[in-house]
Amino acid sequence: MRVTMRKHTITAIICLAGALVASAVAGASFLAMRKPDVIVNGPGVSEKKMLSDWFPGLKGTPGDTEVYILKGADDGASMLILGGTHPNEPAGHLAAIVYIENVVPKTGTLYVIPRANASGFTANDPQEGAPQRFTIQTPNGPRVFSYGSRATNPVHQWPDPNVYIHASSGQTLSGSETRNLNRGYPGRPDGTLTEKVCYGIVQLIKQQNVTITVDLHEASPEYPVINAIVAHPKAMTLASDTVLGLEMQDIKISLEPSPVNLRGLTHRELGDFTDTLPLLMETANASQGRLRGRTDEALVLTGKDKWYVRAQKLGRLYVPYDEKGHPIEERVGRHVTAIGEILTSWNLEHPEEPLEFENIPGYEDILAKGVGAYLLPAPAK
C-alpha cells in the first residue's frame, strides 16, 4: 500500500514540475509580446506624445499609446492615420510606420497612431496558430514587428459579457466584441479599457480639429469588403476622388458607403460624433482568413496559400487570388498610396486649406524595393 502511494505521489510531483516548467516557458514567451515594437522617428516627426495627453484617464493603462506628430512649416489642414486598430492586420500597422519614418509634411499637420489598440499587440488570438511576430528585412538589418490580436488583451479587460451592448446605440453583438476597438466608438470616459481608447482618439480628433481620419485595416480574402475604401457620407466625395485617382494608377479598389446600422466603427461614429472626414481602408490578408492553411510568418509576409487559390477557383473570394498571393509589399503599398491619393484629392477640392506631404513612397517603388527599403535603422540596443 505504501509503495503504491509513493509511486503515484512521485508521478504527481513529476507532472506538477512539468506543468510549472511549461508555464514558465509559455509565460516568458507571452510576456515577451508586451515589449513594444521599435518605431524610429523619421525626418518629419516634430513631436511624440501619448494618447493620455488628450484623455488623462488612459495614463498608466495598457491602452495608452504613442501619437506621432509631423507638423509642416505652413499651417493647413490635418490628418490622423490609425494603424493597428486590429493588431492582426499588419499592413495597416506597417503603413502607419512607413509614414512616421519617411514622410515630411510641408503644409498642415499629420498625426499618426501606429498602435491604436496597444493592448492588442501584447497577445495574439488563441487557437489561431498565428506567429507572435514577423521580420522585415531592410538594408540595415532585420526589423521585427508584433503580430497581435484582433482585440484588446483579455488580461487587460476581462471578463467579457455574454452580449456586448454598444453604449451610444444599444446595438448588440457577441460578447468578445466588447474588446474590439473598431466597435467601441465614440467611446466612454468611464467605460471599458477599449471604450476609453476610443474616447481618447475622439478627444484627439476634437481638440486638434483633425480634418481627415484614415483607419488602416486588412480583411480576410473571403470577406466582401476588401481592397476597398469605406466612407462616411460626408467623406464620400473625397473617397470617390481617391478611388478615381487609384484606378488611374491601375490600383483596383472599391468604394463602400458606411452602413448606417453598423455602429461603433470609425467610418460611422467619427463622422457622426466629430467634424473629421473618416475613411477606412482594407487590403487582403490571408493570415487572418478562415480558409487558410498553415499560419506562419511566411503567410503573413507573402499571402501565398494554396487553399485560397483553390477557393478562388471555386468562386468563393472577393479578391483575385493566385499562386503569387498578396505580399506585404502590395498591401502596405496600397495603403501608403491611397493615403497619398486622399491628400491629392483633398488639395484639389480645398486649395484654400492644403495638406501637402513630401517623401511619400510610391506604389511601384514599394513593390520593387520592398517595405524594408522604407524602414529606418533601429537604434542599437
Partner 1 sequence: MFYIYLAILAVVLALTVWVLFDTKKFSLQVTAAMVIVPLLLRLLMIK
Please give the residue ranges that form the binding site for partner 1 (CB under 8 A).
Answer: 4, 8-9, 11-12, 15-16, 18-20, 22-23, 26-27, 30-31, 123, 155, 158-159
Query: In angstroms, what is the minimal distance from the CB of 127 to partner 1?
Result: 12
Would you say 20 or 368 has its CB closer to partner 1?
A: 20
Q: Least distance in Å: CB of 24 to partner 1?
A: 10
| Contacts by 320-324, CB closer than 8 A, 24 or more apart | 321/221, 321/284
Shorter beta-carbon distance to partner 1: residue 17 or 368 = 17
- Which one, 12 or 165, has the nearer CB to partner 1? 12
Residue closer to partner 1 by CB (options 53, 125) is 125
And the C-alpha cell for 285? 490578408
Between 4 and 261, name the residue whose CB sits nearer to partner 1: 4
Nearest distance from C-beta of residue 180 to partner 1, angstroms: 19
- Paired strand residues for 111: 69, 80
Q: How far is the CB of 192 from partner 1 (least distance, A)?
A: 12
Which of 361, 281, 288, 303 minimizes the C-alpha distance to 97? 361
Decide whether 47 or 158 has the Cβ nearer to partner 1.
Answer: 158
What minimum distance in Å lies between the beta carbon of 333 and partner 1?
35
Shortest gap between Cβ of 366 and partner 1 (angstroms)? 35
Q: Which lies closer to partner 1 via its Cβ, residue 29 or residue 237?
A: 29
CB neighbours (10 Å) of residue 366?
25
Q: How far is the CB of 155 from partner 1 (least distance, A)?
A: 5
Only one residue has cell 481592397, namely 227
